[in-house]
Homo-oligomer: A and B are copies of this chain.
Amino acid sequence: MTAAANQSGRRPTTSRRLERAGIRDVAAAAGVSITTVSDALNGKGRLPDETRSRVREVAERLGYRPSAAARTLRTGRSGLIGLTVTTYGEEPFTFTEFAYFAEMARAATSAALGRGYALVVLPASSRHDVWSNVALDGTVVIDPADQDPLVSELYRSGVPVVSDGKPGNCPVTAWVDNDHEAAVLNILEHLSEAGARRIGLLTGTSTDTYTRLSTDAYLGWCDRVGQEPVYEAYPAHDPAAGAVAADRLLARPDRPDAVYGLFDPNGTDLLAAARRYGLRVPEELLLVCCSESDVYAGTEPPITTLSLKPRRIGTTVVNLLIDAIEGVDSGTGVDIARLFPPRYRTAGTGPPPGTLMPTELIVRASSQRRSPRTTVSPPRPPGEV
């Protein structure tokens, strides 16, 4: 047997099963080398158009599909991005539990696909073997916990990590977050202008960035304006607890005359609680909640909501991540900074570059005592994008 025969034929000793055509088969059928096939199909190398198209035609005829595994092994790129969702409680996924996550994930998937990447859904808490069983080019982390060991290890092993939500204490390549502080202050100001004297907060007990920043902003504001904080916290993943907390908040002796609820179902719960206590909205109680759902446009009365613009966040996160994947010399992992505009550059081992995005307050009848017309107020002065 000659070397040439061994090169063109495959596995001379084994009985040949029905298999998918490989690059060698295409090369043999087209009468060229596998190098030429690879170059022709990938648009590389120096080949005349004639050869290129002929090879492509042969490949098409044979139904050739390159092996993703082999390509990944060779190039070190899998085209796969992890989408990590934090898990509350027993349920493996809050993913799609709140409309925010669902929308964000959808936008992220779409954006990734548009750039040739696919998303793999992985829980942050799963065992190591699941994570190491899939070759990831990078990972999106939604709301990373402080000191998340998984994120740390990923980052250390050179996998770019971009988080939705400013990371507490774990190193990430970059992060994107809503400007929660500005959003809360904007809402408090909005309620004050509508006549609120004592603004209450319905918040969560978990330590994620969103809850923490929002609550801190509220407490800071209270401190500044001299209002005693009036708030109830409950485990956000438990819908029943939310209704109870809403009830508790309105049952307090120092009952607030305006409430902002941090989580999606709070609007409904607060409305129901107000009804139980005979409080008219917005006359006796001003209401705002954070939600992506448009059911609040149809409630009685319609409720003012804060939208975190999850689509925009998801798209931004993915694009940032893919920029890092494609721009960085994988191996060193240090010159990521040059991907970002100068204003983000931080010297040495400073904090990772982050982007704050504005939120949108959709003002409806529940937070206005004068004109119940539905309007949209931009949270930022125009001119800024």
Partner of A92, one of B17, B113, B268: B113
A241 vs chain B, min Cβ distance (A): 15
Q: How far is the CB of A170 from chain B (nearest CB, A)?
A: 17
A332 at the B interface (CB under 8 A) = yes
A20 at the interface (CB under 8 A from B): yes
Given contacts A113-B123, A116-B133, contact A96 B92 (CB under 8 A): no
With A17-B331, A73-B70, A96-B105 in contact, do A80 and B134 touch (Cβ < 8 Å)?
yes
On chain B, the residues within 8 Å of A71 by CB distance are: 133
A234 contacts the other chain (Cβ, under 8 Å)? no
A80 partner, pick from B67, B113, B120, B272, beta carbons under 8 A? B120
Q: Note all chain B residues with C-beta closer than 8 A to A113.
A: 92, 122-123, 126, 130
Q: Tell me the smallest distance from the CB of A270 to a CB of chain B, in Å.
A: 13
A80 to B78, CA, bound (A): 12
With both chains docked as a complex, state the minimum distance between the C-beta of A134 and any C-beta of chain B, in angstroms: 5
CB contact list, A12-52 vs B, under 8 A:
17-20
- The listed residue (B20, B69, B102, B103) touching A73 by CB distance below 8 A is B69
Interface size grouping (class) on chain A: 35 or more
Interface residue from B79, B134, B268 paired with A133 (Cβ < 8 Å): B79
Interchain CB contact under 8 A, B123 and A120: no
A222 to chain B, nearest CB (A): 32
What residues of B have a CB within 8 angstroms of the CB of A377 in the complex? Answer: none
Interface set, chain A 78-124, CB cutoff 8 A to B: 78-80, 92-93, 95-96, 102-103, 105-106, 109-110, 113, 116, 118-123
Check: A65 CB closer than 8 A to any chain B CB.
yes
Q: Quick one: closest B residue to A80, CB to CB?
A: B134
**Residues of chain B lying within 8 A (CB to CB) of residue A103:** 96
Q: Within 8 Å of chain B (Cβ to Cβ): is A129?
A: yes
Q: Which of B65, B66, B72 contacts A157 (CB 8 A)?
A: B65
A342 in contact (CB, < 8 A)? no
Q: Check if B134 sits within 8 Å of A106, measured CB to CB.
A: no
CA distance A63 to B78 in the complex (A): 21
Indicate if A349 sits at the interface (CB-CB under 8 A).
no
| Given A69-B72, A96-B96, A109-B121, 12 further pairs, Cβ under 8 A | A18-B332, A20-B157, A65-B132, A68-B133, A80-B120, A92-B110, A93-B109, A118-B130, A118-B134, A268-B298, A272-B298, A295-B295
Q: List 10 A-B contacts (CB under 8 A).
A: A69-B73, A72-B72, A93-B106, A93-B110, A116-B129, A118-B122, A118-B134, A120-B121, A268-B298, A272-B298
